[in-house]
Amino acid sequence: MAEFLSDAWLTELADRASSVAGPSEVRLVIQQVVVDGDGPERAYGVVLDVGQVRIEPGRTVAPDVTFTQDRETAAAIARGDLSAQAAFLAGRLRIGGDVHLLAEQAAHLATVADIFAEVRAATTW
């Protein structure tokens, strides 16, 4: 079991992503940024690229959308205890970039979330 946001966890996400096909008509780069108090941020990108899904550790070069949140919020969203919409409305999640593109791709993003269910189930929070 990998700890949430650890290098091992990102590797598990990347391995899982590379083993499945993503939505064939989607090109979208989502940057996840998790800030942890005064500590360093943890960032990774979820890249959907015409049938492929990739996880890229660190900051991506040109994200379409960026989600920024604290660790507690990121964990709650990742576990499914809190929706991104509820976190945003509560001021716990900041969204930058092309929000319209994100909304247009919402149905495809739901299928991508299912890809990572195995990793979520085995994650140490």
Report pLDDT digits (tens) over 28-63. Answer: 999 999 998 777 899 999 999 988 899 999 999 999
Q: How many residues does the chain have?
A: 125
Please check the confidence at residue 110 and state whether its pLDDT lies above 80. no
Model's pTM, two decimal places?
A: 0.90
